[in-house]
Structure 1
Amino acid sequence: MEDFQGVEEKAFVKDEVDNVIKESIENTIQNAAYHHNKVAQWNSNIVEQCLKKLTGLNKPFKYIGSTTYKYDSKTMYVIVNVFGLTI
C-alpha cells in the first residue's frame, strides 16, 4: 500500500496540470481582446505562472512550457504545452 502511495505522489496528474494552465490563462488574459503588442507579455506571464504553480505541486519533474496564440475574427485561442520530465 505504501508503495502505491509513493507512486501516486510522483505521478504526472493531467487534471492538476490542466487546472494550473486554465488558472494561469484566466488570470493573465481574462476578457482581453487580441492585441499583437500584448502577446509577448501574455506569453511570459502565462509560462511564469504555470511553472511557478507546477513547481509548487512538489512533484519530481522538470517542466518545459510554451504558448501559442491563434486569433480568428472575434475569437482568440491560447494553446499551452507543458511537459513534465523526470529521470
Structure 2
Amino acid sequence: MSMMDPSEEFPEEDIQTIVKPAIAQLLNGVQFNPSKVNDWCNTIIDTCLKELQSLSKPYKYVITCVMMQKNGGGMTTSAACYWDGAKDGKTRVPFENDTMHCIVTVYGLSVNIDTKDDEV
C-alpha cells in the first residue's frame, strides 16, 4: 500500500478555518427563525464549498448543516461511512448562539486511487 504525500492528508485544520467564519458571519447575533433555516443552511454550505475548492486538495467534499432552535431539548446526530480511513476524513464544526444550535460536518473523500504500481 502506498503512503500518501503529507500535503494530501485530509486538511482538517484548513476546513475548520473555512467553516467557522462562514457560520459565525451568518449566524452571530441572529435570532432563530424557522422560515430562514433552509436559506441559512444553503448559504453556509455554498460558501464552504467555494472556499474548499480553492484549497485545491485531492478531495470531493460532502457537507451537511443541521440547525435547531435552542429550547431545552436535546440534539443528537449520527453518521456512518464506509471509506478508506487512511485517506478520507471528516470534521465537525459546532456553533451556538442564544437561540440556536448549528452543526456543520464536512466529509472529504480522496480522489487519489492507488494503482497496482503503488502497492508494495
Mark the structure with the bigger radius of gyration. 2
Query: So what's the TM-score if we normalise by structure 1?
Result: 0.85
Highest RCO, 1 vs 2 (Cα 8 Å, sep ≥ 6): 2
Write the distance in 2 (CA, Å) between the matches of 1:10 and 1:78: 29
- 1:34 match: secondary structure: coil
Partner of 1:51: 49
1:18 counterpart (16, 19, 36): 16
Write the distance in 2 (CA, Å) between the matches of 1:28 and 1:9: 31
Partner of 1:32: 30
Task: Report the number of matched residues.
Answer: 83
What stretches of structure 1 move > 4 A for 4+ residues in a row?
none
Report percent identity of matched pairs: 28
Query: So what's the TM-score if we normalise by structure 2?
Result: 0.63
Unpaired runs of 5+ in structure 1?
none
- Which whole-Å deviations, capped at 9, do the CAs of 1:44-78 have from their partners, x for residues lacking one? 10000111111111100000001001211343111
